Amino acid sequence: MIKGVQADQVKVQFQPRTLTVAFPLPKSEDADFCMEIPLFDTIVPSESTFKVKPVKLEFHLKKATGIKWPSLRAEAAAVAQPLVEMAKVTSAGPASADSQAARKPLRGPQDWDQLAKEVDEEEKTEQPEGDAALNRLFQQIYSDASEDTKRAMLKSFQESNGTVLSTNWDEVSKGKVEMKPPDDVEYKKFDS
């Protein structure tokens, strides 16, 4: 979880037993972040991906085998190396052992519960626009709805081919929901 990281500045290296992440810290001119995580088991580097989101970095690791991992890290004692000179992080991997002296701690232990609360609060204050706002509204209606309302929403949307979205189960349960395209649209059945 981290806010404001620029996607073009993130360097990620997937290796069969290691994940390495490096980027300059937002709002800091001289502090950079570098973390090398020894993985519990082998991954497929070519099929592993990452995404930079507004408040976090998201990693999708493809396991080489189908076994369940008890933890992400190979060992509980594996400790992140918080800061390193970005210039020393090359495409070949993290800084060399010679640069260990250049590392300095970023701050004390992270309160992950507090960070999660901050992320939730920021997501609530962000006001999406257009389709994203409409999508978020429907997600909120659905997540706060009763079982009958959820059932009505799913049935009406599916049976009407996406042209009707009803929350009234009493009405929807009586029969098939007819398709109601917008006034300026004509429905044509697809012929194969």
Residue 189 covered by a domain: no
Give the containing element (helix H, strand E) for 38. Answer: strand 32-38
1 and 81, same domain (yes or no): yes
Side-chain half-sphere exposure of 140, counting CA atoms within 13 A = 7
69-90 pLDDT per residue, tens:
888 887 643 443 333 333 344 4
Q: How many residues does the chain have?
A: 192
139 and 64, same domain (yes or no): no
Domain limits for position 27: 1-88
82 and 162, same domain (yes or no): no
Model pTM score:
0.40
1 and 83, same domain (yes or no): yes
The confidence score (pLDDT) of residue 124 equals 67
The residue among 44, 35, 39, 42 whose CA lies nearest residue 10 is 35
Residue 96 covered by a domain: no
Burial tier of 32 (Cβ tally within 10 Å: 0-12, 13-18, 19+): buried
What percent of the chain has pLDDT above 70? 77
Domain count, the chain: 2
| Residue 97: Cβ within 10 Å count | 7
